Structure 1
């Protein structure tokens, strides 16, 4: 007698179009329909299994069961990740490459980026006071791009960072698009890779100098598992994989501003800095608002998970948005409540806005520390350093759009510097 259960099956020959139509809710919608934490569907002309929840994340990040090589679609590699980059590595190759990123994204580096972002925010006040309206997403993105490029060892001016910011944002916001928006994302990726590759070549040929402990130097002269330098294009791609995710923090910053605006009851606690409330607030923003919808891998071998069987070579999607809203883990998951993080026991698999597991050995993003620091600093700036008004605007965000953002980019006006007594 068979000892396993059939996985609930989604209707339709291929549901790739439905992902584009439903976005972040594609997997949660079907989990609710089947009253299950698993279902089978067809995506990109292949069978796929979708899973959600803490236990699902645990099995998904078992490196003995899943691989990432060859999983990310080319359209994502050609815009967001870069082709054949760290996101598609497995085993020793991944761990060694990940050690490079962990060596760069240290607490010291996080604090440096955070300190410089704070300084740039203060410097921006004079300019913002003269502006009729400040689109927070645009301004914060440019500040972060300027700071991170210079911290990496790519020295650019504030003016030059404006153009570079647009290119990085096109990479981030085009991978799920079609038509001209997607083409612009590919073009931005190619141009940015060429720009940074040229810097790498000049650095290796001693035509420019940077500090030896800078990220660009570490990557330019890093030796991979074959004990050889990365080719100059791959070095450029991995440098971008340091810069781009930190610029993407501007998305969380805008959602933090939205949360501050729509939950004014939190402001007083932030002003008083009660009970590490800044961190609790930032973490709840990362849990509550949409960032990564789901992530993909393929099974390395046949195995059983609970009462279900997985075949070797099966595409599997882990529901990130749904796991962060799982009612079995989070009480009232669709309510914004920073206090839920006050006495929360740390878990590597139930809170996965930037991936799950140990960041040193799994595909979890190693930049969560700098993400939270920047969010806290911008919140502190908005509360304690400036006064401003939030005019009527479209602050809605569309869960059918991946990635998503408040439509207006969060506009503030009548910015005035606060002076301490």
Structure 2
């Protein structure tokens, strides 16, 4: 039996906050290994990285999600009793609900709505106005996501709801005020969403059958019962919250366009193939999800290492997306790397790996891709703008990360 390399003798929780996205990759590099053990929040944890580590992590026979999420993440990012903490038949049953919303028709509708909302927003900007793209993107994506999901959204509540949805995301790597803001935002958003669910069920609000609002309101569990209204609200938020989170990728995409004028020229008027490549490279390169967790379902041996039942295991998401064994020049922005990419299940994993329908890969991944593509097309094909001097750097210790300025644009002109 091989002994799992160990990272120090003391609890490393504070270093996760200090080092952020570099916490796991730095230790894999220093220990010259794809597996090590550490202590986080007074618990022994095994950490794995790379394509083989991802393949292991998404083996449903070896791992379960129940009990893997810290309560602080449930109470801010995902919500309690959400699909992210489910296993077996209940998970599969609810996953099919999410995947039923990811048809080509649904995704095309979201793409069109995203473009429509960008056009509407741009029409409100004065010629001499200075805008922060990230802030504008939150509202655009909130409007588009709610319209797509069938959720009524009054104009005077757009800013508030967009900020609440982002705050839940912004809280996952935070302590103190940022984290408590996210928890407060979740509580308020769940009340908002639960009211919509109950209004639909009690016919005070009409919702089209092909919308997420209707489907969540009338979804039945494996025993044939409607979901508890609070759980239905949590899952409805799990449809629209990730769409608003795409605002971070929009800011990073604009950064990539600004830093490489050749790329901007390629994206402008590009066919769907290149837009897809550009979008995937945004998701691969820029930091968003640092790692994910699961618990060992039953003890097993892997590559001579023993995994004890109940042990928490973390998969290095950010490090795998920057693994030089998988990606040539992994820290460079090169969309062309995806020209011959075969769509591996365990190499590009910014939103998790494995199968969408049968595994725990994020069901909203395709929504993310469509929203980014629509936003990048709009920025390059329908707008002209200047990028003034500003701090466009981003931190790999802050989770989630963003360009510090949010990407300020000036002298914005709508192309004829």
CA distance in 2, matches of 1:167, 1:267: 32
Shift in Å, 1:126: 2.5
CA distance in 2, matches of 1:106, 1:278: 20
2:197 is equivalent to residue 200 of structure 1: yes
CA distance in 2, matches of 1:413, 1:295: 38
TM-score normalized by the length of structure 1 = 0.96
2:5 is equivalent to residue 37 of structure 1: no
In structure 2, relative to structure 1, the CA distance for the partners of 1:275 and 1:170 (3 Å cut) is closer
Aligned pairs for 1:154-169 within 5 A: 154-169=151-166
User: Is the Cα contact below 8 Å between 2:117 and 2:143 reproduced in 1?
Assistant: no
2:95 is equivalent to residue 107 of structure 1: no
Shift in Å, 1:73: 0.6
TM-score normalized by the length of structure 2 = 0.97
For residues 324-382 of structure 1, the C-alpha deviation after alignment (integer angstroms, 9 at most, x for no partner) is 11111111111111110011122100110111000111111122222222212211211
Q: How many residues align?
A: 416
2:341 is equivalent to residue 339 of structure 1: no
User: What is the match of residue 282 of structure 1?
Assistant: 279
Shift in Å, 1:158: 3.1
Moved more, 267-276 or 305-314: 267-276
2:210 is equivalent to residue 213 of structure 1: yes
User: What is the match of residue 7 of structure 1?
Assistant: 4
Shift in Å, 1:119: 1.2
Shift in Å, 1:228: 0.8
Aligned pairs for 1:296-335 within 5 A: 296-335=293-332
Q: After the TM superposition, which segments of 4 or more aligned residues of structure 1 sit over 4 Å from their partners?
A: none
2:244 is equivalent to residue 247 of structure 1: yes
User: Is the Cα contact below 8 Å between 1:146 and 1:157 reproduced in 2?
Assistant: no
**Structure 1: unaligned runs, 5 residues or longer:** none
Q: CA RMSD in A?
A: 1.3
Aligned pairs for 1:267-416 within 5 A: 267-273=264-270, 276-416=273-413
**Structure 2: unaligned runs, 5 residues or longer:** none
CA distance in 2, matches of 1:153, 1:125: 23
User: Is the Cα contact below 8 Å between 1:65 and 1:299 reproduced in 2?
Assistant: yes
User: What is the match of residue 260 of structure 2?
Assistant: 263
User: Is the Cα contact below 8 Å between 1:111 and 1:370 reproduced in 2?
Assistant: no
User: Is the Cα contact below 8 Å between 2:269 and 2:381 reproduced in 1?
Assistant: no
CA distance in 2, matches of 1:129, 1:373: 28
2:234 to 221, 230, 237: 237
CA distance in 2, matches of 1:131, 1:206: 46
User: Is the Cα contact below 8 Å between 2:243 and 2:371 reproduced in 1?
Assistant: no
1:64 to 61, 65, 68: 61
Structure 2 SS opposite 1:112: helix
Structure 2 SS opposite 1:317: strand
1:74 to 71, 75, 81: 71
